[in-house]
Amino acid sequence: MSFLIKREISLTKATTKTKLMVILMSIIGAGKVAIVNFRLTIGNAILITPTTAALSIVTITMAITFLKDRVTKLQVVGIITAGFPE
């Protein structure tokens, strides 16, 4: 997105703790996607697919917990609706 708006994103003002949390959340996020993909190769997709809708909820919850992000009422509605399977 930063490429599209031609604006550089920098973490230079972030604390070391914040940088480490971002790295940790990225690793956990990549791990959860890898686990879901592995489960799809060995399991029944009809049972596994609804859990993929919850992947964003895990990331959001981690951001709120560890990075102390604030969410608006509209974002809360989006988080809740993201948890429902399609």
CA distance 36 to 64: 23
| Inter-residue contact 29 to 59 (CB < 8 Å) | yes
Closest CA to 66 of 58, 74, 76: 58
- Block mean pLDDT (10 aa), the chain, length 86: 61 78 84 83 77 73 83 84 62
Model pLDDT, residue 77: 85
> Which amino acid makes up residue 49?
T
Q: What is the pLDDT of residue 2?
A: 52
